Amino acid sequence: MQESTFDTGNVTINYAIGEPAGPPLVLLHGGSARWQNFDAILPQLGAHWQIYAPDLRGHGKSGWTPGQYRLQDYTNDLIVWLEQCVSEPAHIFGHSLGGMIALMVAAQAPALVRSVVVGDAPLSSKSWQSVLETDRERLIAMRDLAGGAVPLDQLEEMLKNAPLMLPGRAAPITLREALGEDSPYFPGMALNLAQHDPNMLSMLLDAFEDVATGYEPEAILPQIRCPALLLQGDPAAGGLLSDDEIRRALSLLRSPQHVQLRGIGHALYNEQAAPVLDALTAFLSTH
């Protein structure tokens, strides 16, 4: 993967490009992440498709735009970037926040999108807000650590000591107990936070209605012309995409498919890569 940059006229987008092994496949990471969060599946996907993986504004090495972290802002970035930096209509796989943006792009710029895969993303502003409210304390803690003011080694130690409540336990354990002292999660997440604009999290917490304007399934999904795969984490394992949302989306999309990944939570390929790769490969290979 080779990194490059593109100026949209509003923000500089950092992105990575793989070898030209097939049609373009765009990977959109989730909130508070960066393109490297796809490392677990990049080699396998890169053998069949040419990977394009941008850092969203306010994430990774892309520029910061305080006060401009609406879904529509991300969508505008991606449409201009696809037009200028990707040679032909692309498959798009978006995880979480990236999945919401992928749907917006597919609805607003159908000529640029060959197919779209949504990785366990809430499908309405209401369900997204419910997820954020449940996770509010953690998001506040992440905002306080984001932005690069805390040295990376201190960030790693704080993450290792963060509490984690597991089913069936009366008291939380630490992340270092759950993942192991040498888990690659800790340096990766520390760098995610160091490069993350804390204002993006502030907007989610304090200006949600502005951020989510226009993100309603009845307005977006019927506009999507291309085939769409809804890749659902298991709600019993921490997946965010509910069965009710799946049923509604299947009735609104023109050409939908659905796969639920049993026993796999919201992190998808960072929990179990093989089942996610199987579902992605089967879908993308037919389109």
List the chain pLDDT tens, one digit each, 287 residues. 999 999 999 999 999 999 999 999 999 999 999 999 999 999 999 999 999 999 999 999 999 999 999 999 999 999 999 999 998 999 999 999 999 999 999 999 999 999 999 999 999 999 999 999 988 988 998 999 999 999 999 999 999 998 877 667 788 888 888 888 998 889 999 999 999 999 999 999 999 999 999 999 999 999 999 999 999 999 888 899 999 999 999 999 999 999 999 999 999 999 999 999 999 999 999 98
pLDDT of residue 64: 98
Residue range(s) occupied by CATH 3.40.50.1820 in the chain: 2-130+211-285
Structure tokens at 34: 């960066």
The residue type at 256: P
Among 66, 70, 47, smallest CA distance to 58 is for 66
pLDDT at site 166: 67
Q: What separation in angstroms does the CA of 106 have from each of 18, 21, 147?
A: 22, 23, 31
Rounded to an integer, what distance in angstroms lies between the CA atom of residue 272 and that of residue 97?
A: 20
DSSP secondary structure code for residue 87 in this structure? S
Q: What is the CATH number of domain 2-130+211-285?
A: 3.40.50.1820
